[in-house]
Amino acid sequence: MEVINAELRQWCHELPKVELHAHLNGSIRDSTLLELVKNHGDNGVLISKDVEQMILEKGTSLRKCFELFAVYHVLATDHETVKRITKEAVEDFAADNCIYLELRTTPKKNEAKGMTKRSYMDAVIDGLKEVNTVDVDLYGCELTNKKNGDRRRKKIFVRLLLSINRSEATSSAIGTVNLAMEMKDMGVVGIDLSGDPTVGQWDTILPALEHARKLGLPVTLHCGEVRNSKEIQAMLDFNPQRLGHVCLLAEEDWERLKSLMIPVEICLTSNIMTQTIPLIEYHHFADLYKSKHPLSLCTDDTGLFSTTLSNEYYKAAVSFGLGKEEMFKLAQEAVNFVFANEDVKKHLAQNYEEAKARIL
């Protein structure tokens, strides 16, 4: 049985952290999920008891994870819910001492609720404005009203990535890129490609990604969640600013990734719970870390995988024998891979300088 090192856990909590791979829907709190299901009513789609059971069985199999993910998608389809889950996600990351959060979400259209991709994103921004446990910096502006006039309050930088779903048509994906461009001055800093890795064709999405590149929008891709060498090679050819997961790469693709030095978003708990990697001892984090490959620890979905960014750092420390100085450096180096501008990077670097004296 695993012995919990409470002191190290607490230290990982106090460590200032940068989150680069977090999906809005996957970050819904269990308590909110249950409440939303109850409010959703007895329309035959969702039953509270079933969802309670799903929450209890979270992480016991890949199928259970995706069942719950489908529930998130059914529920987060009106402006009020989007606003609420955004507010709560940011407050949760801030409570975990996350100082920079790149939150990604797929802008959704829901005609029945009068929702367009743009109004969905406006609801996300409204949610950010409602955060009241911490000051939120979006596009270099502080959104949160300091209700108590407390100037020593914690601050979190939040930036947004618009996700293209792999199953989208080219025109819809291009629409998402155009929306990101339109909202460039409102905290949107890049594009993500995500969704069920067994569906969708790279060639359908590529024109949208090339469009993003032409517009100067950085791109991150979910890569290697399933074995698909042809697609992985195409992704490496595209040479994006970052890659997520990179779990199931063939030897030659692995070597190419390392020579390209593309920063990797590592999601330990997610990869183990979805059984993409059978055991943490076999996780490619070890090889990348040893090779000094640029990487950053991330949560993927705090709600879905019942994790926090502190927990991911703790897991890395105990699984790979990293000391506090190494952990600190790992967190600090993630600043280099954020999609926000140099000003933000400077602020974050300053935060780490201040934290060094306090926790090292």
Query: Annotated catalytic sites, by residue?
Result: 225
Q: Which stretch binds Zn ion (CB under 5 A): 94-102, 225-233, 298-306, 318-326?
A: 298-306
Q: Which stretch binds Zn ion (CB under 5 A): 166-174, 207-215, 293-301, 318-326?
A: 293-301
Tokens of 132: 């009241």
Q: Which stretch binds Zn ion (CB under 5 A): 43-51, 63-71, 297-305, 307-315?
A: 297-305
Site size for Zn ion, by CB under 5 A? Answer: 1
Beta bridge partners of 98: 17
Q: Which stretch binds Zn ion (CB under 5 A): 143-151, 161-169, 296-304, 314-322?
A: 296-304
Mark 60-79 with x for binding to Zn ion (rule: CB under 5 A) and - for no binding.
--------------------
Amino acid at 152: R
CB nearer to Zn ion: pick between 270 and 332? 270
User: Using the rule CB under 5 A, is 253 a contact of Zn ion?
Assistant: no
Q: What crossing angle do the helices spanning 202-215 and 170-182 adopt, rounded to 10°?
A: 20
SS3 category, 279: coil
CB nearer to Zn ion: pick between 46 and 71? 71
CB nearer to Zn ion: pick between 231 and 300? 300
Of 100, 98, 123, nearest to 25 (Cα)? 123
CB nearer to Zn ion: pick between 19 and 300? 300
The least distance separating Zn ion from the CB of residue 26, rounded to whole angstroms, comes to: 7
Determine contact, residues 285/295, Cβ cutoff 8 Å.
Answer: yes
- For the chain, helix (H) and strand (E) counts, in that order, are 15, 10
Give the number of other Cβ atoms within 10 Å of residue 129's Cβ.
15
Rounded Cα distance, 128 and 110, in Å: 21
Long-range CB contacts (< 8 A, 24+ apart) of 139-144? 139/185, 139/186, 139/187, 140/341, 140/343, 140/344
Of 92, 232, 222, nearest to 165 (Cα)? 222
The least distance separating Zn ion from the CB of residue 265, rounded to whole angstroms, comes to: 8
The least distance separating Zn ion from the CB of residue 149, rounded to whole angstroms, comes to: 39
The least distance separating Zn ion from the CB of residue 279, rounded to whole angstroms, comes to: 21
Tokens of 73: 């998608």
The least distance separating Zn ion from the CB of residue 353, rounded to whole angstroms, comes to: 31
Determine contact, residues 175/113, Cβ cutoff 8 Å.
Answer: no
The least distance separating Zn ion from the CB of residue 118, rounded to whole angstroms, comes to: 23
Of 108, 20, 99, nearest to 72 (Cα)? 108
User: Using the rule CB under 5 A, is 300 a contact of Zn ion?
Assistant: yes
CB-nearest residue to Zn ion? 300
Plot region of 74 (φ>0 → left; ψ -120 to 50 → alpha; else → beta): alpha
C-alpha gyration radius of the chain: 19
CB nearer to Zn ion: pick between 72 and 139? 72
CB nearer to Zn ion: pick between 139 and 305? 305
Residues that bind Zn ion (CB under 5 A): 300
